[in-house]
Structure 1
Amino acid sequence: MLTVDFDRLGLRPGERVIDMGCGAGRHAYEMYRRGADVIALDQDADELSGVSEIFAAMREAGEVPAGAEADTKQGDALGLPFADGEFDRVVASEVLEHIPDDVTAIRELVRVLRPGGTMAVTVPRWLPERICWALSDEYHANEGGHIRIYTGTELVGKLEAAGMVHEGTDHAHALHAPYWWIKCAVGTTKERHPLVRGYHQLLVWDIMRTRGVSVLTRAAERALNPLIGKSMVLYLRKPA
């Protein structure tokens, strides 16, 4: 399940890219599959171990173009271990809402991006996230959890203050917003609750593109994304 549109980001084979705060690696895998030279960075060594295994499996299965490279790096968003302007594209998906000093993290993302390069930043959207916070403290009030809810104006302002030019905004994953509202209402740890299990199965069908379900759910998501899309996606360019 991708949040970033890599065609809109402008990603091309052979470019050097970083997925900052890669987590389980979903965006890193797609960039690797498209032929990029990928660095997946995270603080969590266990997550990075799993990402490395998937990179190796992709190579073994012949799922990546010849010449494409991918590696993992453990590091801190507040001090990225890379040179200025090292990357052609930067992705930071669902990360900044976890970082107390988000201004420094943004400056680091901008620093490692080359002039003329592009960046995609995604965070939970204000309205769906505000509903989650209203329904449940345990959704966000935990170690490493979400510490802020961005408005679009606030996040664009911080990125522009760091030197980026905002080129557009999308919203994604509208069907995931009700899932999290249900979880927050019944208890975020109650995975076996009938409403949670039923809605989760719908999402799995959609992700797996089950015939007859995918067409309907994807059409619904496209229609609902502008209203309740769970994620806000910003596309930006660093001036040349």
Structure 2
Amino acid sequence: MVDPDSIEYMTRNEADMAFKRRVKTIFDFVNPHGDMRILDLPCGRGFYLNMFQYVSNCELVGADLDWRVVKTARQVLGHLAKVHIHHASIYSMPYPRDCFDAVILSEIIEHIDDDIRGLKEAYRVLKPGGVLVVTVPNANYPFWWDPINKTLERLLNRHIQRGPLAGIWANHVRLYTAGELRASVEEAGFEVEEERAMTRHCFPFSHNLVYGFGKPLLESGILSKSMQSVANRHDFHTNGARLNPIKLGVALFNAFDRKNGASEPPEIATVNLALKGRKPNA
């Protein structure tokens, strides 16, 4: 099991409390050890891969359909012998059958039209007995995480899927209930071992502040170098000064997050759902 202090160290400057809890859950479910071979899809810019290589000696494979983030991930992690990054679709992974000990599908199946097809492809590349980890946005999300969409859903039965006000619905085909996620994973052939509902308490408009405002500001290059370093998920070794504006914002978000547990009761509104599945042994 990965030392919880190491996970806390890697996420100490993280502004997205939901992402921070996904990190902890993914490490709990995967339990990287020995020479495991782990696939992360979509790998994005390689944030999970970077964390896994820091705390383990596993062989790590990342794949993403977006060439831009693949290029970034290769620039940051391409020099590492045990990290391999590919351009690939969840519908057609360029890997043989039964070749991974764990597959991570974090925040991906809500983006695709055919989630069962994507899950079945993960089933194909997993070894018998291998672990599947899935995280998705919860259809029963907290009002304060995304007040705009929650209000639109209640009053007009609609939501915003594009732009800075998209919130939890940003570029998503669907959100999931716990039952819907479980049913999809089981239909793909997996056995469900554990389920979690994460991030109940949050600072108001957290998603809009972090991704609608903060992320574009970071990517614009306007922020000072010290602020960019603290906000850079790849650079978890830089802590920053106590009065760094990013640190102050993170401290505020953490004050709300301290009331959250590792998992909440299923009827409680939370930002994310997580599921650990297993491919049955032959």
When the two structures are superposed, what TM-score results if normalisation uses the length of structure 2? Answer: 0.65
Counterparts of 2:249 and 2:33, CA distance in 1 = 25
> Match for 2:275 among 215, 234, 239?
234
- 8 A contact 1:206–1:217 mirrored in 2: no
Relative distance call for 1:163 and 1:45 in structure 2 (3 A) is same
Show the counterpart of 2:75.
53
> Match for 1:13 among 31, 34, 41?
34
Counterparts of 1:169-184 in structure 2 under 5 Å?
169-176=195-202, 178-180=204-206, 183=208
- 8 A contact 2:104–2:133 mirrored in 1: yes
Relative distance call for 1:215 and 1:74 in structure 2 (3 A) is closer
Show the counterpart of 1:149.
175
Counterparts of 1:155-170 in structure 2 under 5 Å?
155-170=181-196
- 8 A contact 1:97–1:146 mirrored in 2: yes
Moved more, 120-129 or 224-233: 224-233
> Match for 2:260 among 202, 221, 232?
221
When the two structures are superposed, what TM-score results if normalisation uses the length of structure 1? Answer: 0.75
1:9 deviates by 2.2
Counterparts of 1:234 and 1:191, CA distance in 2 = 29
SS for the counterpart of 1:128 is coil
1:134 deviates by 3.6
Flag the structure with more relative contact order, 1 or 2, with Cα contacts below 8 A and sequence separation at least 6: 2
Counterparts of 1:214 and 1:134, CA distance in 2 = 20
Counterparts of 1:74-85 in structure 2 under 5 Å?
74-85=87-98
Structure 1: stretches of 5+ with no match in the other structure: 60-67, 193-199
1:173 deviates by 3.6
Counterparts of 1:64-143 in structure 2 under 5 Å?
69-128=82-141, 132=146, 133-135=149-151, 139-141=160-162
For residues 47-85 of structure 1, the C-alpha deviation after alignment (integer angstroms, 9 at most, x for no partner) is 11111222147x5xxxxxxxx600110011111111111
Counterparts of 1:152 and 1:180, CA distance in 2 = 22
1:25 maps to 2:51: no
SS for the counterpart of 1:35 is coil
For residues 184-236 of structure 1, the C-alpha deviation after alignment (integer angstroms, 9 at most, x for no partner) is 9xxx85669xxxxxxx99x954896x6xx687444222288553431111011
Counterparts of 1:139 and 1:30, CA distance in 2 = 32
| 1:117 maps to amino acid | G
Q: In angstroms, what is the RMSD of aligned CA positions?
A: 3.5
* Percent identity (aligned): 23
Counterparts of 1:157 and 1:114, CA distance in 2 = 21
Relative distance call for 1:176 and 1:48 in structure 2 (3 A) is farther
Counterparts of 1:155 and 1:127, CA distance in 2 = 13
